Amino acid sequence: MTTNKQTLESIEGLLRAITAHLGITPGDASAPALDPNDPLDEVLEEPSSVQCITNLGADVFNRLDRVGRTRTIRNVLKELMRRETSVTNRTVLSEKTGKCYRIYLARPYRIDIPGSLPHTMFSTADFPLPGLVKPEAMKGWTVEGKAKVLDALEMNDEQYFICELL
């Protein structure tokens, strides 16, 4: 038991040293400042801004509040996809502008080209994604006049895109 206690104490000491080195004090808001020009940094107040037939908005808001994360459009969308693995997209409505923001799971599919190695391409529920383009390079792109890519991220070994619906 002494070994476990010593191990825990050394881990605690290490964590204190790291946080002190980074300039983080306990209870300090170490999250990056919200960018007022980034529509995904809009803080949501109403769970009804989550567009779905069930009351997921309240659950997601409560979960984000519990872990101390801000209820931005970005965080709400990410949390929605973290929770439901069978869903390929979720939508949130901006309370300020009324615009819709959707997170998409980029689903991989395989293409076999005769005389060549197989290629993996990706598609969302609403549109295909161009091949040979890194997802993060698509930020700012408008796809088929339907969606503007605002963010690309990886979560749970899956690729996701957050778009403004046009």
Could you tell me the end-to-end alpha-carbon distance of the chain, in angstroms, rounded to an integer? 60
Q: Cα dist. 137→39, 99, 108, 150 in Å?
A: 19, 23, 17, 11
Tens of pLDDT, residue by residue over 28-57, are 455 568 888 899 999 999 888 888 767 788
Tokens of 65: 């509040």
d(CA 70, CA 116): 47
Tens of pLDDT, residue by residue over 6-34, are 676 777 777 777 766 665 555 545 556 88
Angle between helices 56-66 and 73-83 (to 10 degrees): 110
d(CA 8, CA 34): 35
- State the Cα angle at 9 between 8 and 10, rounded to 5°: 90
Tens of pLDDT, residue by residue over 101-139, are 999 999 888 888 899 888 888 888 898 888 777 778 899
- Compare 74 and 55 and report the one with higher pLDDT: 74
